[in-house]
Chains A and B, each alone.
Chain A
Amino acid sequence: AQRVTQPEKLLSVFKGAPVELKCNYSYSGSPELFWYVQYSRQRLQLLLRHISRESIKGFTADLNKGETSFHLKKPFAQEEDSAMYYCALHPGAGSYQLTFGKGTKLSVIP
């Protein structure tokens, strides 16, 4: 069975500081990894998908299969980045469910 671990419940950084939200996964196959974000009083929304290798709102994430990690990074945090961030794993063909981590609350201090 797949598992996603986000070791930090809360991460506080100062505005302009670099941000790294950690995500580790366990799965024996070749999964797809996602980051979802939930801003205050808004719905969960897709931020990044590893396969697209995009940078969204300055965030990037690289899939490291050797370390089974998919950490989310941003070089300079902004106040509007304060939100709840969830890492999610899709196992690929044969299953349809996303497995989410417990989430990390990012707080950017002005």
Chain B
Amino acid sequence: DTGVSQDPRHKITKRGQNVTFRCDPISEHNRLYWYRQTLGQGPEFLTYFQNEAQLEKSRLLSDRFSAERPKGSFSTLEIQRTEQGDSAMYLCASGVGYEQYFGPGTRLTVT
């Protein structure tokens, strides 16, 4: 196991299009998190899964954002009707207890 993986690593899309990102956590981790990071800022929490249950969502997560973790393994984050303000690095993390281990991120550019 080489750690948390994310796909794609880069995504360029036009405003108004839908995009979906995938995260594969470390296999024995039941906790999975999504964060967003913009230039000059630290990561900002978006949502949290314990196994397949989505237990916490940030107010940052507008109704255009949806996340799933259907079998308690990989997770997807979908953004509908993308806006230029959605351009950011989207980070996935997994963990046990309070420690979180991050993936390399997906960089989204909305043109």
Cβ < 8 Å to A, chain B residues 76-109: 91, 98-105
Interface size on A, residues (CB 8 A): 23
5 shortest interchain CB distances as A-B pairs: A100-B42, A97-B45, A96-B48, A44-B102, A90-B98
Give the complex CA separation of A101 and B58 in angstroms. Answer: 17
Are A46's CB and B42's CB within 8 A? no
Are A45's CB and B45's CB within 8 A? no
User: What are 25 sample pairs from A and B whose C-beta atoms fall under 8 A apart?
Assistant: A4-B42, A9-B40, A32-B98, A43-B4, A43-B102, A43-B104, A43-B105, A45-B102, A46-B101, A49-B99, A90-B98, A92-B98, A96-B56, A97-B56, A97-B58, A98-B33, A98-B35, A98-B45, A98-B100, A99-B45, A100-B42, A100-B43, A102-B40, A102-B41, A103-B42
Say if the beta carbon of A88 comes within 8 Å of chain B. Answer: yes
Which A residues touch B99, using CB under 8 A?
34, 46, 49
- Known A-B contacts A46-B101, A96-B31, A97-B33; the reply to A86 vs B42 at CB < 8 A is yes
Say how far B88's CB is from chain A's closest CB, in angstroms: 14
Say if the beta carbon of A28 comes within 8 Å of chain B. Answer: no
Say if the beta carbon of A95 comes within 8 Å of chain B. Answer: yes
Which B residues touch A43, using CB under 8 A?
3-4, 102-105
Give the complex CA separation of A103 and B42 in angstroms. Answer: 6
Which B residues touch A45, using CB under 8 A?
101-102
